[in-house]
Amino acid sequence: MELNDFLKEKGTDEKLSQLIMLFSEQAGVIKEGFLSARGAADTKNVYGETQMALDKWADEVLIDALRESRLVRWIATEEQPDIIEVDGAINQFGVTIDPLDGSSLIDVNLAVGTIVGLYQGHVLEPGNTMVGALYILYGPLTTLTYTTGSGVHEFVMGEDGRFTLMQENLTIPDGKIYAPGALRKDYLPYHKQFIEQLESEGYKLRFSGSFVADVHQILHKGGLFTYPAFAGKDSGKLRLLFEGTPMGKMVAEAGGAISNGRGNLLDVKPSSVSDRTPIYVGGKREIALIESLVKGSGT
Ligand code: AHG
Ligand code: MN
Ligand code: MN
């Protein structure tokens, strides 16, 4: 079944469906860009990271499409310092976008993605107020996975650029994969204990450098992704609005959980669009374990 028909059959709000369809259409445009806009752009984003030509290009593609559609009022992206307010918006939606996640992998042809958070209003609100989230994964296949709060559903792009249903109502299984970001020498004591426990239980290492691809794998196979707080970086590396909350919403809807180590990340109210946060996302058992270790550490 095609994405559009599926959204209708599920009784999805029409405006929200239009927005999801817009992102599904832009996926084809971004995919084409992989053939042309490679390499570094010689500019840095607000996080001081070198932007790849494709980061900037994908950002422009999505912002232009959203502006033109007037489907959303607020647009926040990882590549923009400020939230954009769309003139003449016909809805009050807010969206957060990581246009290309894992972009350091583009030049070596590994999987990257686009991550989107969907809000009924402004985006500087806790993740649990989101009306939906989606991600597009550009791997051997291009897939779109979304939730609007009634299940997590995955679609695959065909030759005609349209998405058809691949799996309905995804649920995260028990599994023994772990994807640990940050350098081991910088681990904080509770985190070291956590990783050692997973390793002693036989968890296998899988870390690609693309958050969206790594979390996608964990959603399907179980286990845990973390980019923790580490020595000198209390907030870790990843961004609350662009990476944490949308992927967290997806995993939580699929029966898993997301935490900053102290509590549900979806309860955290952002203080600014560029907030970073420690992230633990995956199975409920692993999340309960890290939260008990953090609590026990008294830090
Ligand atoms: P982005 O490409 O959007 O800047 O995100 C990169 C992120 C994330 O995808 C990944 O998990 C992490 O950075 C990898 O960081 P390290 O290179 O420090 O491992
Ligand atoms: Mn990212
Ligand atoms: Mn990015």
Give the tokens for residue 275: 């907030």
Q: Check residue 51 and give its pLDDT.
A: 66
Look at residues 133, 167, 201 and tell me which one is the last residue of a structural domain. 167
Q: How far, in Å, is the centroid of ligand 2 from the Cα of 112?
A: 9
One domain, residues 39 and 10: yes
Q: Which residues pair with 157 in a beta bridge?
A: 163
One domain, residues 8 and 155: yes
Look at residues 114, 137, 167 and tell me which one is the last residue of a structural domain. 167
One domain, residues 140 and 184: no
Q: What is the pLDDT of residues 132-159, one digit of tens each?
A: 999 999 999 999 999 999 999 999 999 9
DSSP 34-94: TTT--SEEEEE-TTSPEEEHHHHHHHHHHHHHHHHHT-EEEEEETT-SS-EE-TT-SS-EE
Other Cβ atoms less than 10 A from the Cβ of 257: the count is 22
One domain, residues 120 and 242: no
One domain, residues 29 and 123: yes
Neighbours of ion ligand 2 (CB under 5 A): 98, 101
One domain, residues 163 and 181: no
One domain, residues 95 and 182: no
What is the residue-level pLDDT of the chain in tens, covering all 299 positions?
999 999 999 999 999 999 999 999 999 999 988 887 665 666 777 777 766 688 899 999 999 999 999 999 999 999 999 999 999 999 999 999 999 999 999 889 999 999 999 999 999 999 999 999 999 999 999 999 999 999 999 999 999 999 999 999 999 999 999 999 999 999 999 999 999 999 999 999 999 999 999 999 999 999 999 999 999 999 999 999 999 999 999 999 999 999 999 999 999 999 999 999 999 999 999 999 999 999 999 98
Q: Check residue 228 and give its pLDDT.
A: 98
Amino acid occupying residue 67 = R
Q: Tell me if 193 is assigned to some domain.
A: yes
> CATH no. for residue 27?
3.30.540.10
Residue nearest to atom 8 of ligand 1 (CA): 211
Which ranges in 182-238 belong to alpha helices (H)?
A: 189-200, 211-221
Q: Tell me if 172 is assigned to some domain.
A: no
One domain, residues 29 and 158: yes
Q: Check residue 40 and give its pLDDT.
A: 60
Q: Residue 94: which domain range?
A: 3-167
pTM beyond cutoff 0.85: yes
Atom of ligand 1 nearest to the CA of 101: 3
Q: Is 245 close to ligand 1, i.e. is its CB under 6 Å away?
A: no
Look at residues 142, 167, 192 and tell me which one is the last residue of a structural domain. 167
Residue nearest to atom 14 of ligand 1 (CA): 209
Q: Is 209 close to ligand 1, i.e. is its CB under 6 Å away?
A: yes
Q: Is 286 close to ligand 1, i.e. is its CB under 6 Å away?
A: no
Q: Tell me if 268 is assigned to some domain.
A: yes
